A and B are shown apart, each in its own frame.
Chain A
């Protein structure tokens, strides 16, 4: 009895003495807020600010909001987001992609704000490097605000980190948003390094910041927040990028999009990073999925890695397909796939007769022009001429293809997404110079791009004169050069041409598009959750 009592007393004491620890909470497998004030944490917060780029660039989300619903692309046969192309009433404040971009970018902005705000708290950091990191964060913050302001108009503007629950929000005047963006980029230009480094490739550089600032001025110049010398400023920064750095146009347009080491080339100013390591690739570059026709069910064909996985989201408009002078301009052929070679040998009925295809034989040809029926009938393969284009069968854009994926099902591609490249800088410089009244400069910038695009020996034929130059020509040229590169919706809204060109060139969207569609709807959740609702955070008109 005594012994037992002793044992009980012992255990009771043991337990009581260990109780204090029991209720103490200690984070082990994750880190808390304090971490961001450390050197490693600060670096990690900068890295985290970059990660939101992947939410927009080379995703179906970002592409749906910028590629179709324009003059260049209309909807293919598949996908849940056709209403974004069609501008039906389904495109409303609950549209998931719109909400997702909004949510992710504001998280990114808060992360950038915490980098900017905490920089002084981090001890033992080389001040030059610290400034550089803050400049990176401010570059990214400008990038995020710039996309938001183009999509939504006046948006909420916060430049300080929030550490408390805030349920108020408001729509800052457009001018304030642009001012903040410009201030960030000016800071970035003053602190960032001019050279792209092979290590840490993909971080913001001075050249990238100047390119973006040129784009920002060009965009503000046609907005209600415009200021007198916006076009001059845009031209100035674009010219800085052209003249003050080692960037060069590659001689061959097709080489710009060569996967692998070719992606890192002299023309690339800044690229959103993806990698072949799934651990750090997250959902990957998915741009390869959306522009391809349904080749994989055609006679002699099956899906393979090289030809890609056809999601059939975006179909080029006939306007787009007619943009190039194909005898001089190499970019039609370099952008679109015209031949599919058999990868599923067998005997098929083609052109009304039985044809045996061996591996490597031509299985499908898209000549890009109409051919006489007799010519087609003579071929031992399928011929798809423009009159036979359907939302399932159309010329496939090749610049995003990703044959280095591990298998044909993998969606997460490893290519970098070339967000800023020198050819665009030339076209920004051209547009800005034109509006600033300097047509000679403008023409020379356009010609620089066009000469590169020419077939060998056709360079002179590609050149234009000041008489040819106007905003429609520049928009067409941007389409020819930058097709599919997530710029089009912004180009059209910037130039005020969205409604006009969509009505003219996009038959599915034409009947529905209205003036108000030049802005996207503010997400309903933002309005619902803001104290004061729609009064405090009004919806864009029309939605």
Chain B
């Protein structure tokens, strides 16, 4: 730093010695981080005099006498800057990143494109937005940020990954997950091992023009993840860390001791086994000693509370970026740890990334991205909460001497939930190692013509171990059991890419890409389960010592893809744009003769704002219309379905085992690609001097030849067959708008807003336009609906006789006799709703005042129905297990809310009707407050920059499910199970650069 200052001072001395006339101006251009900018153009305003900076960011330009005194500096991705050169000859200039359009260059499939030349529907997320959130998975970065994408957190267990769908679901069987492409390599395994802090940008490709390039798997959209790469210049070291505390957003409201006692009495009154008014005598017959004591003392054990804790979540990342003219590198190491709010759960991930680029000579460049990830996930199949919700609150967990009571009451099924979390009693651990690499060589063959070779081997190995000790609910004093599983995956991608780029006569620009690609995947799996582990401390580490083998298994699955692709981008005067893509894909999973399919697409773009007639419309800076249509495919069914497989059966004759095989799947030798045709109209706009910008998209996707697992009446011997039948449609609109509301010297307020609505529907099934009631698939409805009886209340005493005609009694759930035939039969079920929301959207407000910045991010998902399984699983009203604290019916409390407890009924008739809720919610996903220390202070601490921040994640959820129905968080995939409650996370973090 100080060296620069001295240089500057020395240079100043020269200024006064310069004579007017022709003169030389020189200087250095740096980016906001102080790193040199290579290739920035310097133009003497109003002349044809140009120069560019070299690798050190240095430039020099000769200024003829009596010309302009203004230099215009420009570089892609940075704001243009004009400098007055009247006074001085040496200028050190720092460029500012363009804030308006996040980036001018967008990563597209197999290359990059300038945003103005784009014809497809693509949304981007920058490293800056990702770093705003203390997140553990890449998918979380997308939630509420990009219109057209639905991200759902399906579990709150540490290490679980959200599900992502782009523009709705279209397939029943072939999957609706988007394709993830990391550093050019399509992933075979999940994205969970990628550390979000390594990400430079995420691009979401949505329409067929953008995704057709990945034709084979583009139907569900493509998410391209690009990791940070080195730049040449001074080595930059960064340290980013946060530490936070998360706590549960609430507990499920179950009955306390006295409520449970009364509930149990009522369950006996129903069957005539308890007097109307409680007596001590009757209680003595009904309750056991510990229950009576608790009733007397007014004592309650809250097992749920005893299983929850506050969790610590932290992440530490060290990054080193830098390089020389020939070699650039980016190295990062990260450790992420979430302790988990439930004992025995937790997630730790270590990642190491090494990205290298090396220029062998001016023609050949080679490089690699290497990720090594190691994660340990605990408790993915461990759930003590459901046991705690059912546990009799009148029992006590501990003896006087502090030891656990294994059976708090005499109920043999209800062991102490706290026994589950005794160290070593339950071990559930997944240990995963992934080495994901992407290697490339790029050769400049001739002017504009490059060849690139991509090779991406990807190794994953996961060991899952489970141990269940004797003193657990699963074993209830039986012998301990153990299990180990091993999953290994090897996937590689090999691609040859030719690219030709040229502009002819400054009018016709061409960008032509040709590709050949193969991908091969191999999955292996081993499994062993044993019973009677001799010593509990052996856990699952010596299953050979166990006396009984409960099961062993192994499996191999392989698949492959081969593709040929060509794409032409043509631009006429940068005003009229055309993209043609064609891809021929072959999949091993499909039938011989149907393996290959061709996926074409066409897109047109029109930069309206470049037209002369628009020059008079002052408020429009940029306006572009895009239209595209194309086909994409889906083939992600389980392999081997064209062959038909047999299933193995077990039997024995005497003491000798008799494994058998029987028909299981009907072979379908005609399986072919599931095809989607997507039409998209998009409008990109920038208005009022970059104050308002965004895009609007309208689309329609028709999917046909669905790879459908069609259920069959079992009388034919088979339960289902996979066929290419049926069709679905998705229609929707997306709007992304960013505004700069206030911008002055000290204060800035910007807003990003997006909204997305999609209508998903089944258009046709195997019987043409008729519904499949057995699967709950209905024409014109989304792919999944809730189809059940409609609860209209509780049978009241006054309706006793009517209830009897339905074989029911007062106090039981009354459902609607939809067809009025006086009977409740399966035809009285209706579509209650769907888990597809009407619309979703996000709004982010950012405020900057001097060094302070404040971000508030709100996410809404409206109109979906949710099934909350703990609202029926913990509402058995059996009088044996603890129950949700609800307003149940009694002869003196003629409510229509919940049925009457009944000791002779393990669960209420039509109990499932208690589990459907409006799943709409508005969440404050994130509030963060940061402070950027001034450069002066940072430099004093030997840093280039320093930012500290506080962040609250998910502090508020607004939903009737939560406020009215005692739920915790309505966000989930179709069914909520209430095992690990949703959390709110408060973190403190630091971003430092050296």
Contact = CB atoms under 8 A, between A and B. Distances in A.
A25 B637 CA distance: 13
B258 interface: no
Of the listed residues A8, A51, A203, the one surrounded by the most CB atoms of chain B closer than 10 A to its CB is A51
Interface in A455-483: none
A279 B552 contact: yes
A281 B550 CA distance: 9
Contact of A280 (B496, B644, B659, B717): B659
B615 interface: no
Of the listed residues A169, A278, A296, A512, the one surrounded by the most CB atoms of chain B closer than 10 A to its CB is A278
B531 A297 contact: no
A8 B666 contact: no
Interface in A1-38: 1, 4-5, 8, 11-12, 15-16, 19, 22-33, 35-36
Contacts of B711: 525, 529
Nearest to B273: A390
Interface string A151-186: 000001010011111110100000000000000000
A296 B409 CA distance: 12
A92 interface: yes
Interface stretch (B96-104, B170-178, B483-491, B648-656): B648-656
B599 to A, nearest CB: 17
Given A200-B654, A279-B549, A279-B657, A48 B560 contact: no
Contacts of A78: 906
A12 B907 contact: no
B906 A88 contact: no
Report the contact-size class of chain A (Cβ under 8 Å from the partner). Answer: 35 or more
A480 B510 CA distance: 93
Interface string B397-430: 0000000000000111000000000000000000
B666 A409 contact: no
B774 A529 contact: yes
B785 to A, nearest CB: 15
Would you call the interface of chain A mostly helix, strand, loop, or mixed? Answer: loop
B909 A297 contact: no
Contact of A158 (B441, B552, B716): B716
A353 interface: no
A296 B656 CA distance: 35
Contacts of B663: 33, 36, 110-111, 114, 161, 163
Interface stretch (A101-109, A234-242, A250-258, A334-342): A101-109
A409 B478 contact: yes
Of the listed residues B548, B651, B773, B906, the one surrounded by the most CB atoms of chain A closer than 10 A to its CB is B651
Interface string B870-892: 00000000000000000000000
Interface string B639-676: 11011111011111111111111110011000000000
Contact of A35 (B479, B520, B661, B825): B661
Report the contact-size class of chain B (Cβ under 8 Å from the partner). Answer: 35 or more
A537 B135 CA distance: 54
Contacts of B825: 92-93, 543
Contact of A30 (B640, B655, B657): B640
A229 interface: no
Given A35-B646, A106-B717, A79 B906 contact: yes
A227 interface: no
A51 B660 contact: yes
A22 B560 contact: yes
Contacts of B520: 22
B90 interface: no
Contact of A163 (B557, B587, B666): B666
Of the listed residues A46, A82, A528, the one surrounded by the most CB atoms of chain B closer than 10 A to its CB is A528
A161 B666 CA distance: 12
A49 interface: yes
A403 interface: no
Given A23-B595, A44-B660, A200-B654, A107 B826 contact: no
Interface stretch (B19-27, B501-509, B718-726): B718-726
B795 to A, nearest CB: 12
B944 to A, nearest CB: 39
Nearest to B288: A297
Contact of A32 (B363, B644, B713, B716): B644
Contacts of B719: 103, 107
A345 B550 CA distance: 34
B662 A45 contact: yes
Contact of B773 (A1, A409, A528): A528
B478 A280 contact: no
B443 interface: yes
A152 B710 CA distance: 26
Interface string B227-252: 00000000000000000000000000
B514 interface: no
B624 interface: no
Interface string A214-227: 00000000000000
B659 A15 contact: no
Interface in A403-457: 406-410
Given A30-B645, A32-B643, A409-B475, A92 B826 contact: yes
B146 to A, nearest CB: 34
B542 interface: no
Given A45-B662, A409-B478, A31 B645 contact: yes
B639 A25 contact: yes
A308 B645 CA distance: 40
A280 B652 contact: yes
Given A22-B518, A167-B716, A529-B712, 4 more contacts: A1-B364, A53-B651, A528-B773, A537-B713
Interface of B: 363-364, 410-412, 441, 443, 451, 453, 475-479, 494, 496, 516, 518, 520, 531-532, 547-552, 554-562, 586-589, 595, 639-640, 642-646, 648-663, 666-667, 710-719, 721, 723, 766-767, 772-774, 806-808, 824-826, 904-907, 909
List of 6 A-B pairs having minimum Cβ-Cβ separation, nearest first? A409-B478, A110-B717, A48-B660, A47-B660, A89-B807, A280-B657
27 contacts: A4-B364, A12-B516, A25-B588, A27-B645, A33-B643, A36-B646, A44-B661, A45-B660, A46-B660, A47-B651, A51-B651, A54-B651, A78-B906, A82-B904, A109-B717, A110-B662, A111-B662, A156-B715, A165-B716, A199-B654, A203-B653, A280-B651, A391-B904, A407-B479, A408-B478, A524-B826, A530-B715
